[in-house]
Structure 1
Amino acid sequence: MTSSAPTLTRALGAIAAAASGIPGPARPPEPAVLAVLAERAESTVVRSGGLVAKAHAGDTDSAALSVRLRVAAHPLLDGILLPPAALPGTDGALSAPVHGRTVTVWPFGRPVDPDAPDSAPWEDAGRLLARLHSVPVAALPGPLPPMRGPAKAARGVARMLAAGAAEPAVLAAWRGLPAWARDEAPQPRDGAALCHGDLHLGQLVRHPAPLGPWRLIDVDDLGLGGPAWDLARPAMWFAAGLLDPADWGRFLGAYRAAGGPAVPADGDPWPHLDVAARALAVQTAAIAVAKAAQEGRVLDVTEQAVLDTCRRIAEVKCSSTPGEGPRPVRARR
């Protein structure tokens, strides 16, 4: 963290406390009331009472984020995305610059319990995605920015190279992707929908906490794109042998039953998920390799499984377009 991190964290705490109506400098809030939920280079999140304040990444496109926030607050997204709250002391503004970072305020939601994998809300995730992908884009504030999934995949590879760890299998799998999946060309417009862009179980919370319905959070990558990208991370985990087939079936089955447009209602989904799943395998492996290099350690079991998936992708020379060539090779169990 930079030397400005404590100042930013304190400012976020004051914003969240003011938004929650909790006294600020008069007395320090108790730890249960004020808590740092995340403190990373790309985001810092502080909770006070029933609200959290988030400082977005320093290179955030504030204009694009403004559109994303208005989409999240739109009535068509009610019950799908957690809506932002207005910043205190403003005339209903949904974001503001604070110490060089764009800051937003959100209701607090209870996250998925990482220690209770059997209770993971896979069906809820599938249904929420199907509803998100079915929102009529023309009725939303715009113009919608592109979904940032491919841009994040490219950043993952760049991070690996910057760490001096040019893993051949990752680069070979990366080169096998179409230009749009490498963020080197515009994303296809056919079948484009409103997409989350970074779907994983950490992007779901119960609101109102602790037992309210599940909602999607984090709009930083929200935008127009191919809905298959939002299914790609669970698909990649399944292909890598890291997600139980029953859980994959729960997720995919709920998505299909809710009318999700990314895959047909029945039959083999892989021709439609192939490119995005390969891209997520590359992104995940690249970040894992970069972290291991920076920390001077070997890959852990999960990281190695994703890297092995990239090796299998490179070996079978998967096609660069959906519906052509073999699917990613499944890991042996």
Structure 2
Amino acid sequence: MTGTAPLLRRLAALTTAPGPAPRTAPEVLADRPDGTVVRAGRTVAKAHAPDCDPHDLAARLRIAAHPLLHGILLPPLPVTAPDGFLIRADDGRALTRWPYGTPVSPDDPDAAPWQDAARLLAHLHSVDVGRLSGPVPPMRGPAKAARALTRLRTALAPGTHPAPLSAAADAVERAWSLLPPWSRAAAPPPRTELLCHGDLHLGQLVRHPTTGGPWLLIDVDDLGVGDGAWDLARPAAWFATGLLAPNIWSGFLAAYRAAGGRAVRPAGDPWPDLEVPARALTVQTAALAVAKAAAAVRPLDEIETAVVDACARMTSLPQQLAPAALDVG
């Protein structure tokens, strides 16, 4: 367990409603280095990553609670009166409270709400940043990609792992080296006009209210201004590497454009806008895959091999992620 017993007790206390009403036993939903999440009934409490900047997180929480984000982001619950959304644990970690929402079911991939996600992103990217209170921090997507490479390098000390894993790590490193500095968090991004989620995947959607409610985006840890194409890059990369069916990708892209999404051109080939972020997300995914395989002392599985192979293609054809898969005009 990543969360210590005192931390888990503190999170459980945050989920418990005061008064004589029956209480639901707390349940640990996630316990990872980047976050520990506990649920009881209709409330969730989260301990954010130890290296989370509390000032930036406080700004992100204010944005999630802003009326302009109603119907787009799940709003946080106050933890202090009248509207404080963040407190600190004894170990310094930031703690927040949220309404519980029903997540996407992993058992029914055909029902995955890709088009709902696309519309939510389009609405998020259309928010007038100037109307939000206080400064808006930068989107942290590139920083997460850089951390994935650090994790890879830590996990694979030279000469300590089988040759296939070492070769996979080399392919990831070569692909990383070809990316522009901004996508490696080594320079400011060229576009910073849109409010971005920063880590879009299906695990970042819930229905709220839980019974028949609309889909909403969750997890604001990476929310901020930046290049909105980063939010489309993971499904784009999955399509390009053969992990997402063409009809799902085309439906996602069409829904985003129909809802007025501004991160890609309104018609025609979106790839000039998506190429760099999609390559960066592919490298990030591959780096984490190799690091996890090394930690578990196992070979890469089929999906992990696919993303590493995509990195290898990037080094032979630096301007293309998967040439045969990208005719999506």
Q: Do both proteins adopt the same fold according to a TM-score greater than 0.5, normalized to the shorter chain?
A: yes
Distance 1:239 1:189, change over 3 A: closer
Partner of 1:12: 11
Distance in 1 separating the partners of 2:324 and 2:101: 35
SS at match of 1:177: coil
SS at match of 1:161: helix
Question: Unpaired segments of 5 or more residues in structure 2?
Answer: 158-165
1:250: how far off?
1.3
Distance in 2 separating the partners of 1:126 and 1:92: 30
Distance in 2 separating the partners of 1:5 and 1:23: 28
Partner of 2:50: 58
Q: Deviations over 1:171-230 (max 9, x none)?
A: 11111111010001112246x200000000000000000320000000000000000000
SS at match of 1:127: helix
SS at match of 2:30: strand
The 5 Å alignment of 1:203-222 reads 203-222=204-223
1:10: how far off?
1.4
1:170: how far off?
0.6
Distance 1:155 1:114, change over 3 A: same
Partner of 1:198: 199
SS at match of 1:259: coil
Partner of 2:94: 102
Distance 1:328 1:142, change over 3 A: farther
What is the one-letter code of the residue matched to 1:97?
R
Distance in 2 separating the partners of 1:231 and 1:251: 9
Distance in 2 separating the partners of 1:163 and 1:72: 35
Aligned 8 A contact 1:262 1:272 in 2: yes
Partner of 2:225: 224
Distance 1:67 1:30, change over 3 A: closer
The 5 Å alignment of 1:142-291 reads 142-164=134-156, 167-189=169-191, 192-291=193-292
What is the one-letter code of the residue matched to 1:78?
H
Distance in 1 separating the partners of 2:134 and 2:41: 32
1:331: how far off?
6.6
Distance in 1 separating the partners of 2:83 and 2:128: 25
SS at match of 2:323: coil
Among candidates 299, 323, 326, match of residue 329 of structure 1:
323
> What's the TM-score, normalizing by structure 2?
0.92
Distance in 2 separating the partners of 1:116 and 1:22: 38
Count of aligned pairs: 315
SS at match of 1:237: helix
1:48: how far off?
1.3
Aligned 8 A contact 1:309 1:331 in 2: no
1:314: how far off?
1.1
Partner of 2:84: 93
Aligned 8 A contact 1:271 1:327 in 2: no
Aligned 8 A contact 2:24 2:41 in 1: no
1:23: how far off?
5.6
What is the one-letter code of the residue matched to 2:5?
P
SS at match of 1:53: strand
Distance in 2 separating the partners of 1:330 and 1:204: 30
Question: Unpaired segments of 5 or more residues in structure 1?
Answer: 319-325
SS at match of 1:67: helix
Q: Deviations over 1:83-115 (max 9, x none)?
A: 00001x544310000132100000100000011
What is the one-letter code of the residue matched to 1:96?
I
What is the one-letter code of the residue matched to 2:184?
R
Among candidates 64, 73, 78, match of residue 72 of structure 1:
64
1:328: how far off?
3.6
Identity among equivalent positions (%) equals 57
Aligned 8 A contact 1:313 1:329 in 2: no
What is the one-letter code of the residue matched to 1:174?
W
Distance in 2 separating the partners of 1:21 and 1:47: 15
Distance 1:14 1:177, change over 3 A: same
SS at match of 2:96: strand
Distance in 2 separating the partners of 1:22 and 1:52: 18
What is the one-letter code of the residue matched to 2:278?
A
Aligned 8 A contact 1:133 1:227 in 2: yes
